[in-house]
């Protein structure tokens, strides 16, 4: 019986370590254009852009939030931009927050769930998540 428990410890330890990592960390978008670092502040989870495939425009200037509907924000740099905000953890899911898409300048309701080294990020037009799409982001090790 003791050997069984020891064997189970070796089998379950990697699973527990992955689960313990949770959502906090760096995640590469499925299209490979950016890496977002998800971080925790109190009981809130946010995410900021920490790497861009194309960090500069054709003139060599830093890439900016040119599609933002607020003209005053169009000159802010994409690097360091918070694109995930105000998510809260509940029952293995992170929800109640928003995700900003700098590609089109729109903000969507957001929920996320970790499945191993994949973060399922759902952006939607409605709070319940019925009208939207899910993207896979991949953990950066």
Nearest-angstrom CA–CA distance, 15 and 116: 8
Measured torsion, CA atoms of residues 51, 132, 111, 125, in degrees rounded to the nearest 10: 100
Question: pTM of the prediction?
Answer: 0.83
CATH number of 23-139: 2.40.128.520
CA 60 to chain CA centroid, nearest Å: 27
For the chain, the domains span: 23-139
Residue 16 pLDDT:
37
pLDDT in tens, 114-125: 999 999 999 999
* Residue 84 structure tokens: 């995930």
pLDDT in tens, 3-53: 533 443 444 444 333 344 699 999 999 999 999 999 999 999 999 999 999
Burial 68-80 (b: 16+ CB within 10 A, else e): beeeeeeebebbe
Residue 130 pLDDT:
83
Higher pLDDT, 118 or 127: 118
Q: For 62-86, what is the mean pLDDT?
A: 97
């Amino acid at each position: 019986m003791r050997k069984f428990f020891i064997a189970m410890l070796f089998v379950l330890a990697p699973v527990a370590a992955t689960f313990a990592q949770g959502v906090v960390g760096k995640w590469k978008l499925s299209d490979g254009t950016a890496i977002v670092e998800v971080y925790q502040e109190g009981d809130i989870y946010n995410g900021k852009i920490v790497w861009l495939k194309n960090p500069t425009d054709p003139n060599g200037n830093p890439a900016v939030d040119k599609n933002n509907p607020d003209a005053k924000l169009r000159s802010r740099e994409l690097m360091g931009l918070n694109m995930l905000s105000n998510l809260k953890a509940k029952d293995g899911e992170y929800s109640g927050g928003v995700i900003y898409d700098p590609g089109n300048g729109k903000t969507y309701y957001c929920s996320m769930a970790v499945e191993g080294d994949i973060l399922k990020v759902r952006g939607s037009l409605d709070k319940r998540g019925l009208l939207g799409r899910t993207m896979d982001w991949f953990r950066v090790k």
